[in-house]
Every structure is written in structure tokens, then in C-alpha cells.
């Protein structure tokens, strides 16, 4: 059988509808993100943003972290979602304050939406804030929110090529957590090869192999986020 990859089209500046707008938008967001970062710093608040595609375990990860950290920190979780409060309710079961941001059709949070949490953060005197972005591995990476650390959650079930296919998101990560390691035995995915790709794309990123189901790797992740005792 012949293998022929016949044509490759690249969407350039004039081929896609919304490139110009995107530039203004990104710039405005970056300014707002810088303001958020300064505000968090001035108030002594650590902020961890969690990015990942749908169903990778962002909510479970925040639940795991909250369980282990709620005695040492005053935590607020901000949960972004298109329209539901499913994730917020799951996190709230852990006994911490949760603020829901429903984005409607928007496929990512932005720094402006996050700045609406200032009053709530002050009200509950939070010193640790988790921000769960909307389930999407592409768009959130271009919209920094002003967090101190960005965790990208991949799931082993997504397959071998996640890092190579999403270099911009991997490059935007401080820590990449590979979740669902408990399923490693039944998947045709090589975790070592995935980690090699992550490191190749972003040599500065730390990686943690985790299972939000069994708790594997969560302690290591807490150290990588500089939240250990």
C-alpha cells in the first residue's frame, strides 16, 4: 500500500478570519494578567492555575490537593465551566469555598473574569487559590490569568502524542501532571515516551506521574508546586 500525504495547508495571517482581533485581545489580556499577578503578590496569595482537556481529571486533582492542604491554607477554588456547576459542587464537598465562573460559549477563562474574584478572595481571606480553567487543551494557554504556577493535566488515556500536538500549551506549563497512571496496565501508551516528549517541548517543565484515583504522585506534585510543609 502506498503512503501518500499529498498536501499540507497552513492557515496563515490572511487565511483565517480572526487573526488581527486576536492580537489586540491577547495584549489586553496580558495587561490584565499582569495586574492580577501584582494584586495576588501584594496580598500574599499563592495562585495555581489548572489547565487540561475535558475529562483529564482537573477537578479530581484539585479535590486531592484541597484534601491534603486545607489544614495549612485558607483555600478558595475558582472553577471555570461553560454552563454547569458540576465541578464546583464536587470541590465544595471538600469543605472549601468555591467560586464558579460560567463562561457561556467561551472556551477559556480570561484575566478579566479572574479579577472579579478579588472581593471574594478578600472576603474569605484566602491565601491559596486554585483556578480550574475550562476543559480545553488549546485556547487557555494563550490567556494567562496571573497565576503563580500553571499546571497542565494530561491523561494517559489521551494517548502518546499529546505533548507533540500541543506544544504551545506544554510550553506554557510550569508543571505537567500525567494523570490516570492507574490505567497504565490496560492502555497501549508508553508513559516514558510521553515524558520524553514533554521535556523535549519544554525543558523547563517539571513532570509528575499521578493518579487522582489512588493518590499516586500527589505528594510529589505538591512539592513541585512549592506547597509542601
Residue 63 in the binding site for its own copies (CB under 8 A): no
Q: Which of residues 190-229 bind its own copies (CB under 8 A)?
A: 213
Cβ nearer to its own copies, comparing 65 with 225:
65
Residue 146 in the binding site for its own copies (CB under 8 A): no
Q: Which of residues 23-42 bind its own copies (CB under 8 A)?
A: 25, 28-29
d(CA 136, CA 77): 18
Cα separations (Å) of 35 from 25, 41, 172? 16, 10, 19
Q: Is the dihedral of CA 143, 134, 216, 90 positive or negative?
A: positive
Q: Which of 102, 127, 149, 216 binds its own copies (CB under 8 A)?
A: 102
- Kindly report the number of other CB atoms within 10 A of residue 196's CB atom: 13
Residue 95, phi then psi, degrees to nearest 5: 80, 25
Q: Which of 45, 47, 65, 101 binds its own copies (CB under 8 A)?
A: 101
- Kindly report the number of other CB atoms within 10 A of residue 54's CB atom: 10
Cβ nearer to its own copies, comparing 28 with 193:
28
Residue 184 in the binding site for its own copies (CB under 8 A): no
Residue 71 in the binding site for its own copies (CB under 8 A): no
Cβ nearer to its own copies, comparing 134 with 173:
134
Amino acid at each position: 500500500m502506498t503512503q501518500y500525504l499529498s498536501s499540507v495547508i497552513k492557515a496563515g495571517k490572511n487565511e483565517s478570519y480572526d487573526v488581527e482581533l486576536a492580537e489586540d485581545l491577547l495584549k489586553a489580556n496580558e495587561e490584565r494578567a499582569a495586574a492580577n499577578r501584582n494584586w495576588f503578590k501584594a496580598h500574599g496569595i499563592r495562585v495555581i492555575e489548572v489547565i487540561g482537556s475535558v475529562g483529564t481529571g482537573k477537578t479530581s486533582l484539585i479535590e486531592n490537593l484541597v484534601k491534603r492542604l486545607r489544614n495549612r491554607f485558607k483555600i478558595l477554588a475558582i472553577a471555570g465551566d461553560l454552563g454547569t456547576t458540576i465541578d464546583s459542587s464536587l470541590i465544595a464537598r471538600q469543605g472549601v469555598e468555591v467560586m464558579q465562573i460560567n463562561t457561556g460559549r467561551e472556551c477559556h477563562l480570561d484575566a478579566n473574569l479572574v479579577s472579579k474574584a478579588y472581593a471574594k478572595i478578600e472576603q474569605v481571606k484566602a491565601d491559596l487559590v486554585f483556578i480550574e480553567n475550562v476543559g480545553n487543551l488549546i485556547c487557555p494557554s494563550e490567556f494567562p490569568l496571573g497565576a503563580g504556577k500553571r499546571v497542565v493535566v494530561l491523561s494517559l488515556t489521551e494517548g502518546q502524542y499529546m505533548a507533540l500536538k500541543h506544544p504551545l500549551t506544554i510550553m506554557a506549563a510550569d508543571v505537567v501532571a500525567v494523570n490516570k497512571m492507574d490505567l497504565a496496565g490496560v492502555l497501549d501508551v508508553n508513559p516514558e515516551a510521553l515524558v520524553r516528549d514533554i521535556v523535549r517541548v519544554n525543558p523547563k517543565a517539571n513532570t509528575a506521574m499521578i493518579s487522582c484515583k489512588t493518590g499516586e504522585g500527589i505528594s510529589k506534585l505538591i512539592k513541585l508546586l512549592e506547597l509542601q510543609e
